[in-house]
Amino acid sequence: MASWGRRSSGMVHHIKALSKVELRGKAGEMKGGWWRYPVQPGVASALVPRSWPCVNTMASLFLVQRFKSSLPQKQVEDDDDDQDLDFPGGKVAYTSEMEFISGSYDKRIPCYRVLGDDGELIKDGSDFEKVNKELAVKMYSDMVCLQIMDTFMYEAQRQGRISFYMTSFGEEAATISSAAALTKDDIILPQYREPGALLWRGFTLQEFVNQCFGNKDDGGKGRQMPIHYGSRKHNFVTVSSPIATQLPQAAGMAYSLKMDKKDSCVVAFIGDGGTSEGDFHAGLNFAAVMEAPVIFVCRNNGWAISTPTSDQFRSDGVVVKGQAYGIPSIRVDGTDALAVYGAIRAARSMAINEQRPVLVESLAYRVGHHSTSDDSTKYRSLNEIEHWKTDRDPVNKFRKWVELNGWWSERDEADLRSSIKKQLLKAIQVAEGTEKPPLTELFTDVYDLPPSNLVEQEKLLRQTVNKYLHDFPSDVSLH
C-alpha cells in the first residue's frame, strides 16, 4: 500500500518550513515560543465543537522542531558569548527581566483536517495525501467491517456468550487510516481499542472471534481476556491490560530498529487517560533522547472511562506535551480518514528519514461505552452521544467522499454489509462449537522446564478440579 499517492515528501517539506523563523504573513508568526496561525472566519466554529478546533492548514501540522543536540561540537555559537550561560545541554541567554513562562495560551493548537462533515473537501485543490480508488475502498470497507463486528460482538457479550468486549464506535477512521499509512514491517503496539489496525493487516474475522471466545484456535490459547489480540505474523504486539506499559517498550523496540538500520518504525497507541501514567512520560523522554523512530499516537476520545479530559489534565490536550520532550507533534481530526492517513504518512517519513520520535494526537469522540462493564449514560448526556454518533460519524463521512468520487454505490453498500454479517454469524457459530484449550496450556510457553512452584500449582489445580468436577466447565480438556 506504500505505493499509493507519493505526497509525503511534500508534506514533510511544509513541516520543516515551520522551523524557519522568517516565515510570516499567511503561514503565521512566532510569538512567545508558539506559532500563531491565521484561521478562516467561522471555519472552526462552524465545522467542529469549540472544544476541538480543526482548521485546514498545512502550516498547523507539526508545532515543534527538535531541540539542538547538547553535544558541544553541535552547539550553536551566539554573537555575544558573554551574555550566555554555557550550561550542559546548550547555551542559555541571560535576561534582566523576571518573567514566568505561561502555563497556557489564548488559542488552542488547531487540528489538521481535510474533509468536512459532509464528506467534501474543505478547500478545493488543498494539499493532502492523495489516495486512489483501491485504497479508499479498502479503507472504507474495513471501517464498515469493524463497525459491524463491534455490533455483533457487543450483543454476544450481552447475551452471555463472551465475558467482555470493547467497541471502537467513533474511532474507526483513527485506527484504520493509521494502519493504511504504514507498511507491514512497521511494528504496532496497541492499547486496546485498535482492532481496526489488525483488521487492516489481514487478521480474519474468525481469528477475532476465536480470541474473544478463548477457544483452542485462539492464538493466545485462551489465556487473555477478550479483545486482547496479538499477531506475530502481522507485527501486532499483544494487547496488555496495564495502561501505558507499551510506550517505554515501543521506545526500546524503535531504538533496536535504529541500531539495525531498518527502514521501518514503531507505532504505539495510547488513550488520553494513559497520558497521566508515568510510562507515557518515560516512553516519550527515552525515545526523544535516543532519537528512536517511533510514532506515539494518542487517541483522545474525550473520556478516560468516566473521567472527561477537562478533569484529566489542564494542558491543551495531549499535543502540547510533545514539546516538553523536544518531539514534533500534530493534532489531527480523528474522524477524518484522509487527514489521519496524511498525518501518519508524514510522521512515518519523519520518524524513519530523520530518526526521531513523533507525537500524533487524534481527536475522535468515543461514541460507545468504555466497555461492556460501563454505562456511559451515567456520566454524559444522550444528546452529546447522539450528536457525535449522527453528525460526526467517521464512517458516514468517508463514505460520502468515496461516493462523490464515483467509487461506491448503494448496491456496493448492501453487498458489503450482507457479506460481513454472514461471515460473522458463521465465525461465531464455529467459535462457539470449538472446544477450549486443554488445562495443560495454563502452564506452558513460559519456561523450557517448568519450575517447582508451577509444578505444585498444576498439581493443586488438578486436585481442586477433581474434587469439584461438577463445577468445572465440561468443554475444557483436563489433559
Q: Which member of 155, 386, 435, 456 is catalytic?
A: 155
Q: Helix H segments across 104-228?
A: 133-158, 172-180, 195-200, 205-213
What is the Cα–Cα distance from 61 to 68, expressed in whole angstroms? 20
Told to judge if 371 belongs to the known catalytic residues of this protein, a careful annotator would answer yes
Per the rule left: phi > 0, alpha: psi between -120 and 50, beta: everything else, 244 is left
**What are the tens digits of pLDDT across the range 398-421?**
999 999 999 999 999 999 999 999
Per the rule left: phi > 0, alpha: psi between -120 and 50, beta: everything else, 32 is left
The three grid cell numbers given for residue 4, joined into one nine-digit string: 499509493
Q: Which member of 241, 256, 373, 418 is catalytic?
A: 241
Cβ atoms of 239 and 228 closer than 8 Å: yes
Give pTM, 2 decimals.
0.83
What does the H/E/C string look like for 358-410? EEEEEECCCCCCCCCCCCHHHCCCHHHHHHHHHCCCHHHHHHHHHHHCCCCCH
Containing 280, the helix (H) or strand (E) segment is helix 278-289
Told to judge if 231 belongs to the known catalytic residues of this protein, a careful annotator would answer no
Beta bridge partners of 300: 363
**What are the tens digits of pLDDT across the range 64-103?**
444 444 444 444 444 555 679 989 988 999 988 999 988 8
Told to judge if 155 belongs to the known catalytic residues of this protein, a careful annotator would answer yes
Cβ atoms of 264 and 185 closer than 8 Å: yes
Q: Residue 443 carries which DSSP code?
A: G
What is the Cα–Cα distance from 267 to 344, expressed in whole angstroms? 10
Q: Which member of 8, 329, 362, 371 is catalytic?
A: 371
- pLDDT (tens place) for every residue of the chain, 479 residues total: 444 444 444 454 444 444 443 333 334 444 444 444 344 444 333 333 334 545 444 434 444 444 444 444 444 444 555 679 989 988 999 988 999 988 887 889 999 999 999 999 998 666 889 999 999 999 999 999 999 999 999 999 999 999 999 999 999 999 999 999 999 999 999 999 999 999 999 999 999 999 999 999 999 999 999 999 999 999 999 999 999 999 999 999 999 999 999 999 999 999 999 999 999 999 999 999 999 999 999 999 999 999 999 999 889 999 999 999 999 999 999 999 999 999 999 999 999 999 999 999 999 999 999 999 999 999 999 999 999 999 999 999 999 999 999 999 999 999 999 999 999 999 999 999 999 999 999 999 989 999 999 999 999 999 999 999 999 888 788 87
